Amino acid sequence: MLLASVTQDDAARAMCIWEAPSLDGLQQLLDGAFGDAVVNDCFVADPARSVNLPAARPEAAQA
């Protein structure tokens, strides 16, 4: 689920915050959807070092 996104003023770059069951699964989903048209650099966010991340949803933690 896409939680948030921001784009550069010329739309050349964007940063999206996703809630996903796994990093590999999200990477495969994005790479499959966009192919070589974009570069997707996925990583797991560290809530202890982040500001204003959306709270985890209980149903997502159970998945």
Return all residues near 40 (Cβ < 8 A) that are at least 6 apart.
27, 30, 31, 34
pLDDT for residue 60 is more than 60 = no
Mean per-residue pLDDT, 54-61: 64
Q: Is 42 helix (H, G, I), strand (E, B) or coil?
A: coil
Closest by Cα among 14, 39, 30 to 6: 14
Query: Strand ranges (DSSP E) for the chain?
Result: 2-7, 14-18
pLDDT tens readout for residues 3-42: 899 999 999 999 999 999 999 999 999 999 999 999 999 9
Q: Report residue 56 as tokens.
A: 């985890």
When pLDDT is cut at 50, 70 and 90, the band that residue 57 belongs to is low
The pTM (predicted TM-score) of the whole model is 0.73
Q: Report residue 46 as tokens.
A: 């560290």
